[in-house]
Chains A and B, each alone.
Chain A
């Protein structure tokens, strides 16, 4: 049996600057409708970097990032076929990534109750372009983030590390704008107090 949505219809080209600049694999049929092949390979090729980077910023641990990327694209095999507009794909992947990260964070907190392994280092987390002070800040911030509730952590990271607007934070975190603001403010206060408390 052939699925009626075996191919995704491309309604408009991707906006410039996104990970889809290279564009999906386009193909025009006899009627002039442009289609893309929704194969896992092509989706992965175009969006895995984006998903991996986003998961890295939220989680901060390499071993978990790979898991989340795999999880997201395992979902993508089924979920992306339901999306007809290629512009939706990136937003949908971002939402799924955030959701998977939240789940991973909750699992991490649960696992921490019995896990005797030392707290991982965040030394490799800073961008090569970051200066020593920023590197130090990132290590301390991510240690402090580990003590925050998942919702607050994700909202703060999306706003201050991912650089999303408040509206996008609310959208990605699946909450109202007011809740997003409250979570960011609460997380910021806790982080500031935590960082000040560590200083000699």
Chain B
């Protein structure tokens, strides 16, 4: 009987080497073969990735994607690229074709050239001017939130959410206050597609219900006077603002349109879209007559549709956005996005009905081609 313990106790078991003693030439060949295999694998992976990208882009070239490329003003495209300036100001590019080039960035002056559309949240600073050049139009601000979109037909659409901006073009200039918007340079007065700023101001005011609370005071008058989260938000430090807002709980946000809108922006821009829905809903519910309410409804729709994947709720939000300001600058985009949301929710009939409504109202609209496809399904 062989005793393992006894043998092991004597010392290591004696095993001879089985190595054949071959030279290093085969090693060199193996290294070469391995490198070739690695290269081939890299090529295969690269081709597979490229194929996936192509397939993915084709897959997403649906109604939603096409609408996204001509994204409307007034709401940020959550998946879009974001440009952060040194002072904390943020530009959210609307659509894949949008391009923002910073031409000058000093403590006294920021100049950016925009192609496509973008929504700007500019940190308030009286010591410097912030200018956006889009086509022939230049928008100059001190501190505000506004959107600039170059329309395919040539002019530039500007919508101001907060504060005021100065819009200048060859041969003229004007100032837009919070809630105002327009297409610049101003077209002929008879154009139905591009109403003049004056016409816009006449008929494009948000609904003002009798029961709604009085309009909120100017944003900058209320924001920044209390609470550190507001200070951080106004400096563009949204992550810090969100942490402080979360620490302060629900009491940290006042029941005012400006404060609710700011809280929603803090949540969105710090990467917490779910937390943005509550202040946006509250703004729409409690302040439907405020000039920010349509923008809040539209933003809510974008968040629900693009960030949270809840298209049915998004459709309701877009519907609310256009009903709150039926002839406002967001109405057309809200109608198109509503059709898209219903389509994504699987309600083909509703999507078709909304698309037909859009085509009847905006036969030459920006989304007409896409929505014709929806209507014909």
Residues of A within 8 A of B23 (CB): 44
Residue of B at shortest CB range from A191? Answer: B4
Complex contact A192–B2 (CB within 8 A): no
Residues 56-78 of chain A: 1 if any B CB is under 8 Å from the residue's CB, otherwise 0? 11011110011001110110010
Known: A162-B12, A195-B4. A73 touches B27 (CB 8 A): yes
Residue of A at shortest CB range from B20? Answer: A66
Min C-beta distance of A49 to chain B, whole Å: 7
Which residue of A59, A70, A199 is within 8 Å of B26 (Cβ)?
A70
**Residue B13 CB within 8 A of the other chain:** yes
Complex contact B2–A140 (CB within 8 A): yes
A134 to B14, CA, bound (A): 8
A55 to B18, CA, bound (A): 8
Complex contact A62–B1 (CB within 8 A): no
**Residue B56 CB within 8 A of the other chain:** no
Known: A70-B27, A74-B27, A192-B5. A53 touches B19 (CB 8 A): yes
**Residue A136 CB within 8 A of the other chain:** yes
For chain B, what secondary structure do more than half of its interface residues adopt (helix, strand, loop), or is it mixed? loop
Residues 213-233 of chain B: 1 if any A CB is under 8 Å from the residue's CB, otherwise 0? 000000000000000000000
Residues of B within 8 A of A128 (CB): 16
Which residue of A41, A57, A62, A141 is within 8 Å of B24 (Cβ)?
A41
Complex contact B24–A137 (CB within 8 A): no
Residue of B at shortest CB range from A53? Answer: B17
Stretch of A9-17, A102-110, A119-127 on the interface side: A119-127
**Residue A133 CB within 8 A of the other chain:** yes
**Residue A26 CB within 8 A of the other chain:** no
Per the 8 Å Cβ criterion, residues 1-57 of B in contact with A are: 1-2, 4-5, 7-8, 11-24, 26-28, 30-31, 34
Complex contact A74–B24 (CB within 8 A): no
Complex contact A161–B12 (CB within 8 A): yes
Residues of A within 8 A of B5 (CB): 192
Residue of B at shortest CB range from A131? Answer: B14
Residue of A at shortest CB range from B28? Answer: A40
**Residue A24 CB within 8 A of the other chain:** no
Min C-beta distance of B367 to chain A, whole Å: 54
Complex contact A125–B4 (CB within 8 A): no
Complex contact A62–B27 (CB within 8 A): no
Min C-beta distance of A111 to chain B, whole Å: 19
A162 to B18, CA, bound (A): 14
Residues 85-117 of chain A: 1 if any B CB is under 8 Å from the residue's CB, otherwise 0? 000000000000000000000000000000000
Complex contact A74–B30 (CB within 8 A): yes
Residue of A at shortest CB range from B11? Answer: A163
Known: A74-B34, A163-B12. A49 touches B17 (CB 8 A): yes
Q: Which residues of B contact A (CB under 8 A)?
A: 1-2, 4-5, 7-8, 11-24, 26-28, 30-31, 34
Of all A-B residue pairs in the complex, the 4 with the closest CB atoms, nearest first, are: A52-B19, A127-B14, A163-B12, A62-B18
A-B contact pairs, 19 of them (CB 8 A): A40-B24, A44-B23, A49-B17, A51-B19, A60-B18, A65-B17, A66-B19, A66-B20, A126-B14, A127-B14, A127-B16, A128-B16, A130-B14, A133-B2, A136-B2, A137-B13, A138-B14, A141-B13, A163-B11
